[in-house]
């Protein structure tokens, strides 16, 4: 069965035909709003991080605007450069990266930390999109599925080995989304989901029972302990217990300067990063949390619109991988802070402190803006497309 969704090789429009400013203002507005919220909550939880985060956000916004002028179509021709770059950077971090809580995840250069697993997310999106778009027309759905899974499995396994389980799971979510947008039959996607569940059960239940530990001990504890953390609050899941207390303590409008769970270190040193939503919930309450989630919903909605407006399969696949990356991270991060998901170390895009995460997210949004701008210019009359 051949896979077809959109024309594979229909180029949208030359960059010279684009207006000087051609991007989705709602995505830019939502991204700016999340950046502002990040500075507000960091000021209360970790004031020392505010200035550096402001620099990351400013540089990231420039990256987004620059990427919006990038001809995303050219990335198809360099896909076999992007993939080795992704694998090489991950291996470099594993071999020479600095340890963070027992995990070698970051490479420090001149006092600045670089997380290859973050950049790898956007590189994987572009590579898989190009791989599918350039696949032979006679390729079967099964062949294409196996190819995508194999190429996604390699970097995901390396990232999990750092160990960085959260980012590795994001890689799988991206691959699944690319296959979905490519039009892979539902039965094959169901089989993939069942295999993923089976692997999860094997790693957490079967393997430990026979003395084989696929994951680190603390990862096993976090993935299983969240089901009943209150029964053992001194375990690896004490952070989650304190996080749930902090979010609930925020009530409707938040505790403001009276927040204690996040300012007194009860959720650990990860309050500015993995548990930033806990800070939002406690300091700004339900109103602040709802506002933050509405900004994410706005970005996701506009990205889904971009998928529908895409003029070729390559563009649609990039947008599909991007929305999966964002949705998965938001769902897992927010879920773990309110006790419905295990702690996996997934950051909250544009809100959590960290240059690699912020810049990667803005780069992804920039590619979405490029797709949006070219699709809009291609669908408009030439006279309108040339108007600034």
Per-residue pLDDT tens digits for 343-355? 887 899 999 998 8
Residue with tokens 């995901």: 156
Ramachandran sector of residue 285 (left: φ over 0; alpha: ψ -120 to 50; beta: rest): left
And the tokens for 111?
A: 């006092």
Residue 249 predicted with pLDDT over 90: no
- Class of residue 137 by CB neighbours under 10 A (exposed 0-12, middle 13-18, buried 19+): exposed
- pLDDT (0 to 100) of residue 156: 93
Residue with tokens 């770059």: 85
Least confident stretch, 7-16, 45-54, 137-146, 297-306: 7-16
Residue 52's pLDDT band, with cuts at 50, 70 and 90, is very high
Stretch 169-198: mean pLDDT = 92
Q: Which of 155-164, 194-203, 338-347, 352-361 has the highest mean pLDDT?
A: 352-361
Least confident stretch, 64-73, 75-84, 147-156, 369-378: 369-378
Any long-range contacts for 235-242 (C-beta under 8 Å, 24+ apart)?
236/343, 237/343, 239/267, 239/268, 239/270, 239/275, 239/343, 240/336, 240/337, 240/339, 240/343, 242/266, 242/267
Stretch 26-50: mean pLDDT = 93
As a whole number of angstroms, the distance between CA 44 and CA 34 comes to 16
- Class of residue 154 by CB neighbours under 10 A (exposed 0-12, middle 13-18, buried 19+): middle
Angle, vertex CA 371, rays to CA 370 and CA 372, nearest 5:
90
DSSP string, 15-28: GGGS-SS-S-HHHH
Q: How far is CA 118 from CA 127, 166, 364, in A?
A: 15, 11, 11
How far is C-alpha 230 from the geometric centre of its chain's CA atoms?
A: 29
3-state secondary structure of 107: strand
* Structural contact between residues 239 and 251, judged by C-beta atoms closer than 8 angstroms: no
The count of other CB atoms within 10 Å of the CB of residue 145 is 20
Q: Which residues pair with 114 in a beta bridge?
A: 107
Stretch 47-57: mean pLDDT = 93
Least confident stretch, 15-24, 52-61, 78-87, 106-115: 15-24
Q: Which residues pair with 99 in a beta bridge?
A: 104
Which of 332, 301, 310, 307 is closest to 320 using CA atoms? 307
Report DSSP state, residue 2: B
């Amino acid at each position: 069965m051949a896979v077809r969704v959109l024309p594979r090789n229909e180029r949208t429009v030359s960059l010279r035909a684009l207006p000087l400013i051609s991007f989705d203002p709602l995505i830019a507005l939502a991204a700016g709003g999340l950046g502002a919220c990040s500075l507000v909550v960091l000021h209360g939880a970790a004031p020392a991080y505010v200035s550096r985060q402001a620099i990351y956000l400013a540089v990231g916004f420039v990256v987004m605007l620059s990427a919006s002028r990038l001809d995303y179509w050219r990335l198809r021709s360099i896909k076999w450069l992007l993939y080795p770059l992704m694998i090489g950077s991950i291996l470099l971090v594993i071999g020479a990266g600095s340890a963070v809580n027992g995990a070698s995840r970051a490479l420090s250069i001149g006092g600045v930390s670089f997380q290859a697993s973050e950049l790898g997310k956007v590189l994987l999106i572009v590579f898989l999109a190009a791989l599918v778009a350039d696949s032979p027309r006679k390729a079967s759905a099964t062949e294409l599925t196996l190819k995508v899974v194999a190429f996604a499995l390699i970097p995901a396994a390396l990232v999990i080995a750092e160990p960085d389980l959260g980012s590795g799971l994001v890689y799988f979510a991206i691959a699944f989304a690319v296959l979905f947008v490519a039009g892979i039959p539902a039965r094959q996607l169901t089989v993939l989901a069942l295999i993923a569940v089976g692997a999860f059960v094997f790693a957490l239940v079967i393997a430990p029972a026979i003395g084989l530990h696929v994951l680190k001990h603390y990862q096993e504890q976090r993935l299983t302990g969240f089901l009943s953390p209150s029964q053992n609050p001194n375990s690896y899941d004490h952070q989650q217990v304190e996080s749930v207390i902090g979010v609930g303590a925020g009530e409707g409008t938040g505790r403001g300067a009276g927040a204690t769970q996040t300012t007194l270190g009860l959720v650990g040193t990860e309050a500015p990063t993995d548990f930033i939503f806990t800070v939002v919930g406690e300091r700004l309450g339900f109103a602040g949390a709802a506002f933050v989630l509405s900004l994410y919903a706005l970005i996701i909605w506009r990205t889904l619109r971009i998928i529908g407006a895409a003029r070729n399969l390559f563009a649609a696949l990039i947008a599909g991988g991007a929305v999966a990356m964002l949705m998965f991270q938001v769902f897992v991060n927010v879920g773990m802070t309110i006790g419905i998901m295990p702690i996996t170390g997934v950051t909250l895009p544009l809100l959590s402190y960290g240059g690699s995460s912020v810049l990667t997210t803005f780069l992804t949004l920039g590619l979405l803006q490029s797709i949006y701008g070219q699709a809009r210019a291609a669908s408009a009359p030439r006279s309108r497309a040339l108007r600034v």
